[in-house]
A and B are shown apart, each in its own frame.
Chain A
């Protein structure tokens, strides 16, 4: 359904940095360092974002209203008050879902072509 939404169509496809940040926020509010840790961990260290990339991306996500600053703060004893927490908006959740569905469709297509997910016949073949 989301594929038919022209607003979402305009935003897709997402860059890897954006997609991973949105994914990191999908299961809860996080601050910048936590987002960076989550991205590094979930990608096995393949994507390492510097402060410039992270906050530049967050700035654009805020402008596009895909994320927003969260008012809910953890216990001050457990966290630095200066940290800024971010959470997904409804639009952000729709976008990350649409992007995931788009990627899933691509994966399905690749599997249909036997590029992945079985015995592959192309050069340097994959054995998933």
Chain B
């Protein structure tokens, strides 16, 4: 009878303990569940043999806290094991926060610098006079012909900035004395010097599709700026009148050069353009932030934490290969980040020009050439880095796409060059270029292929050294 009771008690207790084993993690249960159940059974029989029911109760009172405590410990241990798995992947994840930290630091530095510069640069006022110059003198033989001189305005610009005109303005405004007090401790300037300063503070531009010329002068004083602009206009009028008299054309002076609007003092400074400087700071911050962040992330990737704790065997066999791979990611990633920067600049420039009043399409060719040069410089940098790393097919295709996308982006950004490209299509190309650049700029992209096997002989030589 007692044996039957024992048998029943064992079976019931084992069944209960088996159920309680579900408190352990599945992996632990699978590995040690049977052994634990067997040990439980042995200990139960010992307890029964020692003190019967009282021994079994004492045994359960010992087993239950043990089970509760160790099941919690096993779950915690599993969590730690997952963390240690993350440690193995840390080189893949660590660069991301490093990238953002460095990017944020560089970006903030650039923006703060631009803000400081914007408020430290002395203010300069601009005054603009508008004039119309008759190309053909009424009543002359030239006026009766249909000939139009395409270089007329450009020629007149050169005339206005010539010594003949500016010397008259300098004399009329007594700039040698005025600027002598200002720039030369009271001693009068030479006429050449004053003309040079005046020329440097002039800006001439035509108004689109008209014969109107804008003559702008800059100065730290609004009144002086207006005087300079009006003085140059007056000197130019005198020059044109003298020229007409010399040609013996009895034409009234005012009919040659008409003043549409004389220069008046402006209340707001034209320079520095604080918004432009801060915008450029933002662009520079993004540009250098991307480069610096990419390089920092690559550096962390190339020097993973714990590398110094490798055993001598590992350092000989594993690390050279590992470092080589990470270095490849670092170099190519950084270069592609630098390649993506012109895209960013271009997009921001496009936005700036579109949104600001300076949407003068004639400014675009210069910017476009600059961007193309930047893009190809980035592409050649990538090629140089990749050829160093003996990368082959895929990397070259990636690099080949970069200038292609860049050119498409540039060409599609200027409506004057490609008026047949509708807006949505142009923006589609821009999006494609940006997307391609973003993909290429990803320094963690795992598919930077190495079609060539590593140069074993060279590496072996390195190891020996």
A59 sits at the interface (CB 8 A): yes
User: What's the tally of chain B residues with a CB closer than 8 Å to chain A?
Assistant: 23
Within 8 A of B (CB), among A1-60: 32-33, 36, 48-56, 58-60
Tell me if B38 and A33 are in contact (CB < 8 A): yes
| CA of A97 to CA of B43, assembled, Å | 30
CB-contacts of B70-99 with A (<8 A): 70-71, 73-74, 77
Indicate if the CB atoms of B38 and A59 lie closer than 8 Å.
no
User: In whole Å, how far is B218's beta carbon from the nearest beta carbon of chain A?
Assistant: 72
Q: Which residues of A contact B70 (CB under 8 A)?
A: 50, 52-53, 56
Chain A positions within 8 Å of B74 at CB level? 56
A113 contacts the other chain (Cβ, under 8 Å)? no
Q: How far is the CA of A48 from the CA of B36 in the complex (A)?
A: 15
Pick from A33, A59, A60: contact of B39, CB under 8 Å: A33
Assess the A84–B67 pair: CB atoms within 8 A. Answer: no
Q: Which residues of B contact A80 (CB under 8 A)?
A: 38
What is the bound-complex CA distance between A50 and B67, given in angstroms? Answer: 8
Is the C-beta of B28 less than 8 angstroms from some C-beta in chain A?
yes
> Bound complex: CA of A96 vs CA of B183, how far in Å?
89
- Among B31, B37, B43, B69, the residue within 8 A (CB) of A59 is B31
Kindly provide the distance from the CB of B60 to the nearest chain A CB, expressed in whole angstroms. Answer: 10
A48-B73 in contact given A55-B36, A59-B32 (Cβ < 8 Å)? no
Does B35 count as interface, using CB distance less than 8 angstroms?
yes
- What's the Cα separation between A111 and B62 when bound, in Å? 35
Known: A36-B43, A56-B70, A56-B73. A51 touches B34 (CB 8 A): no
Residue B40 at the chain A interface, CB threshold 8 Å: yes
Instruction: Tell me if B34 and A55 are in contact (CB < 8 A).
Output: no
Given A36-B43, A83-B38, is A51 in contact with B31 using a C-beta cutoff of 8 Å? no
- Count of A-B contacts with CB under 8 A? 58
**Contact A50–B63 (Cβ < 8 Å):** yes
- Give the Cβ gap from B26 to chain A, nearest Cβ, in Å: 14
CB distance from A2 to the nearest CB of B (A): 19
Other-chain contact of B66, A32, A33, A50 (Cβ < 8 Å): A50
Q: Is the CB of B42 closer than 8 A to any CB of chain A?
A: yes
Distance (whole angstroms) from the CB of A34 to the closest CB of chain B: 10
User: Hey, which chain B residues are within 8 Å of A55, CB to CB?
Assistant: 32, 35-36, 39
Given A36-B43, A59-B28, verify A84-B66 contact (CB < 8 Å).
no
Nearest CB in chain B: distance from A83 CB, A: 7
With A59-B31, A82-B34 as contacts: A52 and B67 at CB distance below 8 Å: yes
Q: Which residue of A lies closest to B27 (CB)?
A: A59
Is A82 in contact with B32, judged by CB distance below 8 angstroms?
no
Q: Flag if B66 contacts A53 (CB, 8 Å).
A: yes
The residues of B that contact A59 with a CB separation of less than 8 Å are 28, 31-32
Render B17-58 as a binary contact track against A, CB cut-off 8 A, 1 for contact: 000000010001001101111111011000000000000000
Which chain B residues in 167-224 approach chain A with CB under 8 Å?
A: none
| Closest A residue to B68 using CB positions | A52
Minimum distance in angstroms from B320 CB to a CB of chain A: 25
Docked CA distance A62–B42 (Å) = 23
- Which residues of A59-74 are within 8 A (CB) of B? 59-60
**CB < 8 Å: which of B34, B37, B39, B71 contacts A36?**
B39
Taking the nearest CB of chain A, how far is it from the CB of B219, in angstroms? 75
Which residues in B have their C-beta under 8 angstroms from that of A32? 35, 38-39
Q: A32 CB to closest chain B CB, in angstroms?
A: 5
Assess A33 versus B31: contact at CB under 8 Å? Given A50-B63, A52-B70, A53-B66. no
Contacts from B to A (Cβ < 8 Å): 24, 28, 31-32, 34-40, 42-43, 62-63, 66-67, 69-71, 73-74, 77
* A interface residues, Cβ below 8 angstroms from B: 32-33, 36, 48-56, 58-60, 80, 82-84
Given A50-B62, A54-B39, A56-B74, 7 other A-B residues pairs in contact with their CB atoms under 8 A: A32-B39, A50-B43, A51-B63, A52-B67, A53-B66, A55-B35, A58-B32
CB-CB nearest 4 A-B residue pairs: A50-B66, A52-B70, A51-B36, A55-B32
